[in-house]
Amino acid sequence: MEMLVASAIGILTAAGLFLVMRLRTFPVILGIGLLTYAVNVFLFASGRLTLGAAPILRDGIDTYADPLPQALVLTAIVISFGMTAVVVVIALGAYLSGDDDRVNDTLPDAQPAPRADGEAQK
């Protein structure tokens, strides 16, 4: 079970980093989302992976599930939803104002790329 969860965290992290390094805004937003999911699974797994364990420690119960990582993951999900909404609005505003969704800046001595409609950029 631990190997499966660790592999899932590794795959989510690798895919998230790959997408964050893209040159367009939409893959960057998806990559940030995948990295957020990887961190959430990591936090959730840090509270011990037990099946059928009680969430509260009582007399006579030897194993229990730690509720603190569960609370942290719930908080992280809410924060990541708000962060994703803000990033999407900023990316949409940048796309609408510049007619381009590229993440990187152009060099000062480089010629601007031609627009799709044939007009020269100013």
- Position 75 confidence tier, pLDDT thresholds 50, 70, 90: very high
Q: What is the pLDDT of residue 109?
A: 60
- Position 105 confidence tier, pLDDT thresholds 50, 70, 90: low
Percentage of the chain surpassing pLDDT 90?
34
Q: What is the pLDDT of residue 102?
A: 77
**Could you tell me the CA-to-CA distances from 63 to 50, 53, 66 in Å, in that order?**
8, 6, 10
Q: What is the pLDDT of residue 16?
A: 95
Q: What is the pLDDT of residue 116?
A: 67
Residue with tokens 């505003």: 93
Would you say residue 10 has pLDDT above 60?
yes
Would you say residue 68 has pLDDT above 70?
yes
